[in-house]
Structure 1
Amino acid sequence: MKNLLIIPLLLLFLITGCGNSDDENNAPLEAQTLTDVSYGTDAQQKIDIFLPYDRSINTKVIVLLHGGSWVGGDKSDVASLVPVLKIQFPDHAIVNMNYRLATETSPAYPKQIDDIKSVLEHLKSNNYQISSNYAFIGFSAGAHLSLLYAYAYDTEHNVKAICDVVGPADFTDPNYTSHPLYPSASQVLVGSSSPTQEQIETINPVNHITTQSPPTISFYGGQDPLVPATQGPRLKAALDNANVYNEYNLYANGGHGDWDEATYADVYSKMTLFLKNRF
């Protein structure tokens, strides 16, 4: 009789024990903040990673790219956007990246595009428990890099949406080619103040737009002293011609992203709605 009682008790213990183990294995992952994570050997190749609570391999990722004319800037410049995104997208991971800055002897292209590739490869190869579905938010030079990478180099179409804030999009724009800063911009980008047609086409986002390009929202200033206001309409026309969903916003009195609080509130409101609908 005692043996008959012991067997059910052992079975109950085993079942209960297995249940506890499963509960532990299935416990939601805690939120994590990882700062200055290296994704390469250069000191500038650092990222901040913000991982949400209860993430999984389906967790989408928002990638931030700062501006600075390809020669300056830092991820700290856009760090204030992280808490805003956390509120609006609590289930998304956020990655704020630095990239190697251009110098007199080392132009921006191709190394800054290579850095985006390296960041995404790092995210894929490490066990962060996130997906390979990305949205880019880029500012100025970072917006140019976002557009160029997504349109020309994202062969697997993992970039699902782009938010472009005053990004150069078409270097063949007459208002750009006649701009006094155009020679220095091309020198920084490709190492030549008089780039060849092939070089221009290579770094020119609109040249790489296809029907498979990701949805894009853009924001430009009508009084921008650095990036001509005509860049927005030219980007929109190229996307429209390829039947790619896009939204174009012009702030007629705005400069190069140095906008007032009301304007930025409008930018982030439209950006949030765009990402919720398209990402």
Structure 2
Amino acid sequence: MRINSAIIYSYIYKYKLTIIFLMKSLKYSLLTILLFVNLCSCSNEKTDAEIIDTLDPSLYYEQLDIAYGQDPDQTFDLYLPANRSQNTKIIVLVHGGGWSAGDKSEMNAIKDLLRLDLPNLAIVNINYRLADDDNAPYPMQINDITNIVEHLKINKDKYTISNKLGFIGISAGAHLALLWSYAFDTKKQVSMVCSIVGPTNFTDPAYLNNTNPNLQELLDSYGSDAPITYLEEVSPYHQATNTAPPTILFYGGQDPLIPTTQGTALRDKLQSLGVAHGFTLYPEAGHGWTGLELLDTWTKLKAFINTYI
């Protein structure tokens, strides 16, 4: 029997079309399945921003090295207590280092004390851009604090915190905390500020007439021949008014960098302005202290925070 080649070719052509159709159908089916799976997956996954948006205020939360600018030093650590509310106050920690050195890790001991003894507070431990030959500390570091406070305000609903805050600063960080609280807190968010061995007055004769080269090197961060008007602008003593927040001060009588008058002059001015304040001088202490004096500092500072924040 002869087989008609035309019929064979016809069957082959139809069979080929059928295979192509099936392959295309399978391809589209697979694409549909993949698309469906992808959509389902996307609906269940959350970005970091979305996770922050849905923070559970009943749970403790911490996040380290939150960026608030482009510079590597523009970061802060955030510690949020469990069972917080829109009334949860914030303590901002500002490290020292002569405006040109230091790191937020140096404030971890105070952070741990706050978490232990005042567990209902939110804590923000900050880094700021450090001064060098090309970057003066002012207004750069004040601007960094402003940006952090603005970040907290913008994200207050995400973090479940209030706008009210307090500052604890050490050395140069205490100067920045005082200056920002007195001169740059335009919305009156600061409930209290603490200075531990912080400079307060660059026009103090003990500074202007000093013969200590190490001290002068630090002061030169704010200009070796700066005019008095500028020195007053960057001095918390000259920026304090009767609307300044409650202030607590701690100083060492043997401090080689911070003369006693840096503390006593601000104490006297706050007294004359009617601003609530505390002042402690440890006569034999230097630029920091330990033991019973440190315990005394924490006891007084904790009571001050409980009273005013």
State the TM-score, normalizing by the size of structure 1. 0.87
- 1:73 Cα offset (Å): 0.5
Q: Secondary structure at the match of 2:111?
A: helix
Gaps of 5+ in 1: 1-24
Corresponding position: 1:265 with 2:298? no
Corresponding position: 1:239 with 2:270? yes
Corresponding position: 1:56 with 2:89? no
Q: Cα 1:270–1:196, aligned 2, differ >3 Å: closer, same or farther?
A: same
Higher helix share: 2
The one-letter amino acid paired with 1:265 is L
The answer as to whether partners of 1:37 and 1:47 remain within 8 angstroms in 2 is yes
The one-letter amino acid paired with 2:132 is T
1:20-79 Cα deviation digits (max 9, x unpaired): xxxxx9x75311010011011110001000001011111100000000000100000111
Corresponding position: 1:165 with 2:165? no
Q: CA RMSD in A?
A: 1.5
Q: Give runs of ≥4 in structure 1 deviating > 2 Å.
A: 179-187
- 1:187 Cα offset (Å): 2.6
Separation in 2, partners of 1:228, 1:173:
9
The one-letter amino acid paired with 2:64 is T
Q: Cα 1:61–1:28, aligned 2, differ >3 Å: closer, same or farther?
A: closer
Q: How does 1:122-271 map to 2 (within 5 A)?
A: 122-126=151-155, 127-179=158-210, 180=212, 181=214, 183-189=216-222, 192-257=223-288, 259-271=289-301
Q: Secondary structure at the match of 2:159?
A: coil
- 1:209 Cα offset (Å): 0.9
- The equivalent residue for 1:22 is none
The answer as to whether partners of 2:201 and 2:232 remain within 8 angstroms in 1 is no
The one-letter amino acid paired with 1:43 is P
Gaps of 5+ in 2: 1-53
Q: Cα 1:88–1:250, aligned 2, differ >3 Å: closer, same or farther?
A: same
* Residue of 86, 90, 96 corresponding to 1:67: 96
- 1:139 Cα offset (Å): 0.1
- The equivalent residue for 2:306 is 276
The answer as to whether partners of 1:218 and 1:232 remain within 8 angstroms in 2 is yes
Alignment length, in residue pairs?
A: 252
Q: Cα 1:28–1:95, aligned 2, differ >3 Å: closer, same or farther?
A: closer
State the TM-score, normalizing by the size of structure 2. 0.79
Separation in 2, partners of 1:219, 1:247:
8
Separation in 2, partners of 1:162, 1:44:
23
